[in-house]
Homo-oligomer: A and B are copies of this chain.
Amino acid sequence: MAKTQPKAPQGLSQDGLVQIYKDMLVARLLDERMWTLNRIGKAPFVISCQGQEASQVGWAAALRPDDVVVPYYRDMGVAIQRGMTIRELMLAFFGKQGDPNSNGRQMPGHFGCRRLNMVSGSSVVIVQMLHAVGVAYAMKMRKQDRVAAVAFGEGATAEGDFHEALNWASIYRLPVLFVCENNGYAISVPQKKEMAVENVSERARAYDMPGVTVDGNDVLAVYEAAVEAVERGRRGDGPTLLELKTYRVVPHSSDDDDRVYRSREEVEAWKQRDPIKQYQLTLIEMGLWDAQRDQAVRAEIQAEIEAAVEEADRAPFPAAEDALRFVYADEEGR
Protein backbone atom coordinates (compact mmCIF):
# COMPACT_ATOMS: atom_id res chain seq x y z
CA MET A 1 0.00 0.00 0.00
CA ALA A 2 1.35 3.37 -0.96
CA LYS A 3 1.82 5.44 2.16
CA THR A 4 0.61 8.99 1.91
CA GLN A 5 3.34 11.56 2.09
CA PRO A 6 3.40 13.19 5.56
CA LYS A 7 2.23 16.78 5.51
CA ALA A 8 3.75 19.59 7.49
CA PRO A 9 1.28 21.50 9.62
CA GLN A 10 0.44 25.01 8.53
CA GLY A 11 2.68 27.64 9.94
CA LEU A 12 5.73 25.46 10.41
CA SER A 13 8.69 26.22 8.17
CA GLN A 14 11.22 23.58 7.17
CA ASP A 15 13.59 25.00 9.72
CA GLY A 16 10.84 24.86 12.29
CA LEU A 17 10.22 21.21 11.52
CA VAL A 18 13.87 20.40 11.91
CA GLN A 19 14.22 22.46 15.04
CA ILE A 20 11.50 20.43 16.70
CA TYR A 21 13.45 17.30 15.96
CA LYS A 22 16.63 18.78 17.34
CA ASP A 23 14.93 19.87 20.53
CA MET A 24 13.53 16.40 21.03
CA LEU A 25 16.92 14.92 20.43
CA VAL A 26 18.63 17.26 22.88
CA ALA A 27 16.06 16.34 25.50
CA ARG A 28 16.63 12.64 24.98
CA LEU A 29 20.41 12.69 24.90
CA LEU A 30 20.69 15.02 27.84
CA ASP A 31 18.27 12.91 29.83
CA GLU A 32 20.20 9.74 29.06
CA ARG A 33 23.41 11.37 30.14
CA MET A 34 21.85 12.46 33.41
CA TRP A 35 21.00 8.86 34.23
CA THR A 36 24.56 7.72 33.68
CA LEU A 37 25.86 10.56 35.81
CA ASN A 38 23.42 9.55 38.53
CA ARG A 39 24.41 5.91 38.31
CA ILE A 40 28.08 6.71 38.78
CA GLY A 41 27.25 8.80 41.83
CA LYS A 42 27.79 12.23 40.32
CA ALA A 43 24.31 13.48 41.20
CA PRO A 44 21.70 12.27 43.65
CA PHE A 45 18.57 12.59 41.53
CA VAL A 46 17.16 12.38 38.01
CA ILE A 47 13.59 12.79 36.90
CA SER A 48 13.07 11.99 33.30
CA CYS A 49 11.33 13.15 30.14
CA GLN A 50 12.22 10.08 28.10
CA GLY A 51 9.36 8.94 25.92
CA GLN A 52 7.45 12.18 26.32
CA GLU A 53 9.63 14.39 24.11
CA ALA A 54 7.06 14.66 21.32
CA SER A 55 4.38 15.72 23.75
CA GLN A 56 6.57 18.32 25.37
CA VAL A 57 8.30 19.87 22.43
CA GLY A 58 5.09 19.61 20.46
CA TRP A 59 2.95 21.71 22.76
CA ALA A 60 5.69 24.17 23.60
CA ALA A 61 6.38 24.81 19.92
CA ALA A 62 2.82 26.03 19.48
CA LEU A 63 3.53 29.06 21.64
CA ARG A 64 5.16 32.42 21.18
CA PRO A 65 8.05 33.66 23.31
CA ASP A 66 5.74 36.23 24.94
CA ASP A 67 3.25 33.58 26.00
CA VAL A 68 3.68 32.23 29.49
CA VAL A 69 4.61 28.63 30.03
CA VAL A 70 4.06 26.77 33.30
CA PRO A 71 5.73 23.39 32.98
CA TYR A 72 5.87 20.47 35.38
CA TYR A 73 8.89 18.54 36.62
CA ARG A 74 8.99 16.18 33.66
CA ASP A 75 9.07 18.92 31.03
CA MET A 76 12.74 19.18 30.13
CA GLY A 77 11.62 19.10 26.50
CA VAL A 78 9.62 22.24 27.14
CA ALA A 79 12.52 23.99 28.80
CA ILE A 80 14.74 23.14 25.86
CA GLN A 81 12.15 24.27 23.31
CA ARG A 82 11.84 27.58 25.17
CA GLY A 83 15.57 28.10 24.95
CA MET A 84 17.17 26.80 28.09
CA THR A 85 20.65 25.64 27.17
CA ILE A 86 22.33 22.33 27.77
CA ARG A 87 24.84 24.11 29.93
CA GLU A 88 22.14 25.69 32.06
CA LEU A 89 20.30 22.42 32.49
CA MET A 90 23.49 20.67 33.50
CA LEU A 91 24.26 23.31 36.13
CA ALA A 92 20.76 22.76 37.50
CA PHE A 93 21.29 19.03 37.42
CA PHE A 94 24.37 19.34 39.58
CA GLY A 95 22.76 21.97 41.84
CA LYS A 96 25.51 24.41 41.07
CA GLN A 97 26.03 28.15 41.18
CA GLY A 98 24.68 29.69 37.99
CA ASP A 99 21.72 27.35 37.54
CA PRO A 100 19.21 29.84 36.11
CA ASN A 101 16.21 28.00 37.53
CA SER A 102 16.95 28.25 41.25
CA ASN A 103 20.69 28.55 41.63
CA GLY A 104 20.89 25.03 42.96
CA ARG A 105 18.10 25.36 45.47
CA GLN A 106 15.65 23.02 43.82
CA MET A 107 16.01 19.43 42.71
CA PRO A 108 16.62 18.86 39.00
CA GLY A 109 13.46 19.06 36.93
CA HIS A 110 12.15 22.17 38.60
CA PHE A 111 12.19 24.55 35.70
CA GLY A 112 11.59 28.27 35.80
CA CYS A 113 13.18 31.25 34.15
CA ARG A 114 11.78 34.72 33.63
CA ARG A 115 13.95 35.25 30.52
CA LEU A 116 12.04 32.39 28.88
CA ASN A 117 8.64 33.36 30.27
CA MET A 118 8.60 30.05 32.09
CA VAL A 119 7.19 30.23 35.60
CA SER A 120 9.09 28.55 38.43
CA GLY A 121 7.48 25.34 39.65
CA SER A 122 7.55 23.46 42.92
CA SER A 123 7.49 19.71 43.45
CA VAL A 124 3.88 19.88 44.53
CA VAL A 125 1.74 18.51 41.74
CA ILE A 126 -1.04 20.43 39.97
CA VAL A 127 -0.80 23.69 41.96
CA GLN A 128 0.63 25.36 38.86
CA MET A 129 -2.66 25.02 37.01
CA LEU A 130 -4.11 27.79 39.15
CA HIS A 131 -1.09 29.97 38.54
CA ALA A 132 -1.64 29.67 34.80
CA VAL A 133 -5.27 30.66 35.31
CA GLY A 134 -4.25 33.77 37.21
CA VAL A 135 -1.69 34.67 34.58
CA ALA A 136 -4.34 34.27 31.88
CA TYR A 137 -6.75 36.41 33.85
CA ALA A 138 -4.21 39.22 33.82
CA MET A 139 -3.68 38.78 30.07
CA LYS A 140 -7.38 38.89 29.34
CA MET A 141 -7.96 41.87 31.62
CA ARG A 142 -5.30 43.74 29.66
CA LYS A 143 -6.85 42.64 26.38
CA GLN A 144 -3.64 41.01 25.19
CA ASP A 145 -3.63 38.18 22.68
CA ARG A 146 -1.20 36.13 24.75
CA VAL A 147 -1.98 32.77 26.30
CA ALA A 148 -0.79 30.78 29.30
CA ALA A 149 0.01 27.11 28.85
CA VAL A 150 0.38 24.70 31.73
CA ALA A 151 1.30 21.02 31.86
CA PHE A 152 0.73 18.24 34.37
CA GLY A 153 0.52 14.47 34.60
CA GLU A 154 -2.71 12.53 34.42
CA GLY A 155 -2.31 11.23 37.97
CA ALA A 156 -2.21 14.74 39.33
CA THR A 157 -5.63 15.45 37.84
CA ALA A 158 -7.10 13.68 40.88
CA GLU A 159 -6.15 16.66 43.05
CA GLY A 160 -8.79 19.25 43.84
CA ASP A 161 -6.84 22.10 42.28
CA PHE A 162 -7.36 20.50 38.87
CA HIS A 163 -11.09 21.03 39.23
CA GLU A 164 -10.76 24.51 40.68
CA ALA A 165 -8.50 25.61 37.83
CA LEU A 166 -10.74 24.30 35.05
CA ASN A 167 -13.72 25.83 36.79
CA TRP A 168 -12.19 29.31 36.97
CA ALA A 169 -10.82 29.22 33.45
CA SER A 170 -14.18 28.20 32.04
CA ILE A 171 -16.24 30.71 34.01
CA TYR A 172 -14.04 33.56 32.80
CA ARG A 173 -13.23 31.99 29.39
CA LEU A 174 -9.56 32.57 29.92
CA PRO A 175 -6.82 31.98 27.35
CA VAL A 176 -5.30 28.88 28.92
CA LEU A 177 -3.98 25.77 27.30
CA PHE A 178 -4.19 22.94 29.83
CA VAL A 179 -1.90 20.12 28.75
CA CYS A 180 -2.19 16.74 30.37
CA GLU A 181 0.76 14.52 29.54
CA ASN A 182 -0.94 11.20 30.12
CA ASN A 183 1.71 8.53 30.49
CA GLY A 184 -0.65 6.06 32.13
CA TYR A 185 0.93 6.04 35.57
CA ALA A 186 1.36 8.17 38.64
CA ILE A 187 4.62 6.61 39.76
CA SER A 188 3.29 3.04 40.21
CA VAL A 189 -0.43 3.72 40.16
CA PRO A 190 -2.06 2.86 36.84
CA GLN A 191 -4.69 5.09 35.31
CA LYS A 192 -7.58 2.83 36.22
CA LYS A 193 -6.87 3.47 39.89
CA GLU A 194 -6.63 7.20 39.28
CA MET A 195 -9.93 7.79 37.50
CA ALA A 196 -13.00 6.00 36.22
CA VAL A 197 -12.89 7.52 32.74
CA GLU A 198 -10.69 6.45 29.89
CA ASN A 199 -9.67 9.89 28.74
CA VAL A 200 -8.78 12.85 30.88
CA SER A 201 -10.23 14.99 28.11
CA GLU A 202 -13.69 13.71 29.00
CA ARG A 203 -13.46 15.84 32.09
CA ALA A 204 -13.52 19.01 30.02
CA ARG A 205 -17.24 18.64 29.37
CA ALA A 206 -17.90 19.21 33.05
CA TYR A 207 -16.71 22.77 32.43
CA ASP A 208 -18.29 23.32 29.04
CA MET A 209 -14.75 23.38 27.69
CA PRO A 210 -13.33 21.64 24.62
CA GLY A 211 -11.43 18.49 25.52
CA VAL A 212 -9.14 16.88 22.98
CA THR A 213 -7.10 13.69 23.09
CA VAL A 214 -4.25 13.12 20.68
CA ASP A 215 -1.37 10.71 20.21
CA GLY A 216 1.31 12.25 22.38
CA ASN A 217 4.06 10.39 20.56
CA ASP A 218 3.21 12.08 17.26
CA VAL A 219 4.84 15.45 17.56
CA LEU A 220 3.08 17.01 14.60
CA ALA A 221 -0.33 15.89 15.82
CA VAL A 222 0.48 17.38 19.20
CA TYR A 223 1.66 20.57 17.60
CA GLU A 224 -1.44 20.94 15.48
CA ALA A 225 -3.83 20.30 18.36
CA ALA A 226 -1.93 22.73 20.54
CA VAL A 227 -1.95 25.41 17.85
CA GLU A 228 -5.68 25.07 17.47
CA ALA A 229 -6.17 25.43 21.23
CA VAL A 230 -3.78 28.37 21.41
CA GLU A 231 -5.59 30.15 18.60
CA ARG A 232 -8.86 29.58 20.41
CA GLY A 233 -7.36 31.25 23.42
CA ARG A 234 -5.97 34.17 21.44
CA ARG A 235 -9.35 34.67 19.78
CA GLY A 236 -10.95 35.04 23.19
CA ASP A 237 -12.84 31.78 22.93
CA GLY A 238 -11.54 30.39 26.18
CA PRO A 239 -9.51 27.48 27.48
CA THR A 240 -8.88 23.99 26.14
CA LEU A 241 -7.99 20.76 27.87
CA LEU A 242 -5.54 18.89 25.68
CA GLU A 243 -4.64 15.32 26.57
CA LEU A 244 -1.51 13.76 25.12
CA LYS A 245 -1.37 10.00 25.37
CA THR A 246 2.22 9.01 25.87
CA TYR A 247 4.50 6.92 28.04
CA ARG A 248 7.59 7.35 30.10
CA VAL A 249 9.97 4.61 29.06
CA VAL A 250 12.17 4.84 32.15
CA PRO A 251 11.34 4.67 35.87
CA HIS A 252 9.57 7.62 37.49
CA SER A 253 12.87 8.90 38.84
CA SER A 254 16.23 7.60 39.90
CA ASP A 255 14.60 6.56 43.20
CA ASP A 256 12.06 4.36 41.45
CA ASP A 257 12.08 0.76 40.26
CA ASP A 258 9.36 0.37 37.67
CA ARG A 259 9.77 -3.39 37.32
CA VAL A 260 7.48 -4.00 40.28
CA TYR A 261 4.50 -2.29 38.69
CA ARG A 262 4.68 -2.76 34.94
CA SER A 263 5.75 -5.51 32.60
CA ARG A 264 8.83 -5.32 30.46
CA GLU A 265 6.63 -6.21 27.48
CA GLU A 266 4.55 -3.11 28.01
CA VAL A 267 7.64 -0.93 28.19
CA GLU A 268 9.10 -2.58 25.11
CA ALA A 269 5.92 -2.09 23.15
CA TRP A 270 6.03 1.62 23.87
CA LYS A 271 9.70 1.81 23.01
CA GLN A 272 8.72 0.54 19.59
CA ARG A 273 6.62 3.66 19.27
CA ASP A 274 9.51 5.92 20.16
CA PRO A 275 8.51 9.50 19.34
CA ILE A 276 11.95 10.52 18.18
CA LYS A 277 12.41 7.60 15.82
CA GLN A 278 8.93 8.16 14.45
CA TYR A 279 9.50 11.80 13.81
CA GLN A 280 12.88 11.13 12.27
CA LEU A 281 11.18 8.89 9.72
CA THR A 282 8.63 11.58 9.01
CA LEU A 283 11.34 14.15 8.37
CA ILE A 284 13.20 11.74 6.14
CA GLU A 285 10.01 11.07 4.21
CA MET A 286 9.54 14.80 3.88
CA GLY A 287 13.03 15.00 2.46
CA LEU A 288 14.21 17.19 5.30
CA TRP A 289 16.52 14.76 7.02
CA ASP A 290 18.92 11.95 6.42
CA ALA A 291 21.14 9.56 8.33
CA GLN A 292 24.23 11.59 7.77
CA ARG A 293 22.80 14.79 9.13
CA ASP A 294 21.40 12.80 12.00
CA GLN A 295 24.77 11.48 12.95
CA ALA A 296 26.38 14.88 12.68
CA VAL A 297 23.75 16.54 14.83
CA ARG A 298 23.93 13.83 17.45
CA ALA A 299 27.66 14.22 17.63
CA GLU A 300 27.32 17.97 18.02
CA ILE A 301 24.81 17.60 20.81
CA GLN A 302 26.91 14.99 22.55
CA ALA A 303 29.91 17.25 22.41
CA GLU A 304 27.92 20.11 23.87
CA ILE A 305 26.64 17.82 26.61
CA GLU A 306 30.12 16.63 27.50
CA ALA A 307 31.39 20.19 27.67
CA ALA A 308 28.47 21.06 29.90
CA VAL A 309 29.09 18.08 32.16
CA GLU A 310 32.66 19.06 32.56
CA GLU A 311 31.84 22.65 33.31
CA ALA A 312 29.03 21.82 35.71
CA ASP A 313 31.11 19.24 37.50
CA ARG A 314 33.84 21.78 38.06
CA ALA A 315 31.48 24.65 38.90
CA PRO A 316 31.25 25.63 42.55
CA PHE A 317 28.20 25.04 44.69
CA PRO A 318 26.53 28.23 45.80
CA ALA A 319 28.11 29.66 48.94
CA ALA A 320 26.44 28.61 52.18
CA GLU A 321 25.30 32.12 53.05
CA ASP A 322 23.77 32.49 49.62
CA ALA A 323 20.96 30.37 51.08
CA LEU A 324 19.85 33.37 53.09
CA ARG A 325 19.18 35.55 50.05
CA PHE A 326 15.84 36.29 48.41
CA VAL A 327 13.56 35.16 51.17
CA TYR A 328 12.05 38.60 50.74
CA ALA A 329 12.66 41.45 48.30
CA ASP A 330 15.62 42.82 50.18
CA GLU A 331 17.87 43.19 47.17
CA GLU A 332 17.64 43.61 43.42
CA GLY A 333 19.12 41.33 40.80
CA ARG A 334 20.33 37.82 41.48
Query: B-contacting residues of A (Cβ < 8 Å)?
Result: 158-164, 167, 170-171, 192-197, 202-203, 205-209
Contact = CB atoms under 8 A, between A and B. Distances in A.
Contacts of A194: 171
B160 A164 contact: yes
A226 B49 CA distance: 47
Given A163-B160, A193-B171, A196-B171, A205 B207 contact: no
28 contacts: A158-B163, A158-B164, A158-B167, A159-B160, A159-B164, A160-B160, A160-B161, A160-B162, A160-B163, A162-B163, A163-B163, A167-B195, A167-B196, A170-B195, A170-B196, A171-B193, A171-B196, A195-B207, A196-B207, A196-B208, A196-B209, A197-B207, A202-B205, A202-B206, A202-B208, A203-B206, A205-B205, A205-B206
Contacts of A205: 202, 205-206
Contact of A206 (B170, B171, B192, B197): B197
Contacts of A206: 197, 202-203, 205-206
Q: Among the interface residues A162, A163, A195, which one has the most CB atoms of the partner chain B within 10 A?
A: A163
For the complex of A and B, the 9 pairs showing the least CB-CB separation, nearest first, are A160-B160, A163-B163, A170-B196, A206-B206, A203-B206, A196-B208, A197-B208, A171-B196, A160-B164
A127 to B, nearest CB: 11
Copies of this protein in the complex: 2
Nearest to A160: B160
Contacts of A163: 158, 160, 162-163
Q: Among the interface residues A158, A196, A205, A209, which one has the most CB atoms of the partner chain B within 10 A?
A: A196
Contacts of A159: 160, 164
A195 B163 CA distance: 11
Nearest to A165: B160
Contacts of A209: 196
Q: Among the interface residues A202, A206, A208, which one has the most CB atoms of the partner chain B within 10 A?
A: A206
Nearest to A209: B196
A284 B170 CA distance: 46
A169 to B, nearest CB: 9
Nearest to A197: B208
Given A159-B160, A171-B193, 9 more contacts: A159-B164, A162-B163, A163-B163, A195-B207, A196-B207, A197-B208, A202-B205, A205-B205, A206-B206
A182 to B, nearest CB: 15
A205 B211 CA distance: 13
Contacts of A192: 171
Nearest to A208: B196
Nearest to A168: B158
Q: Among the interface residues A167, A197, A209, which one has the most CB atoms of the partner chain B within 10 A?
A: A167
Contacts of A193: 171
Nearest to A163: B163
Nearest to A162: B163
A167 B160 CA distance: 10
A3 B75 CA distance: 65
Nearest to A238: B196
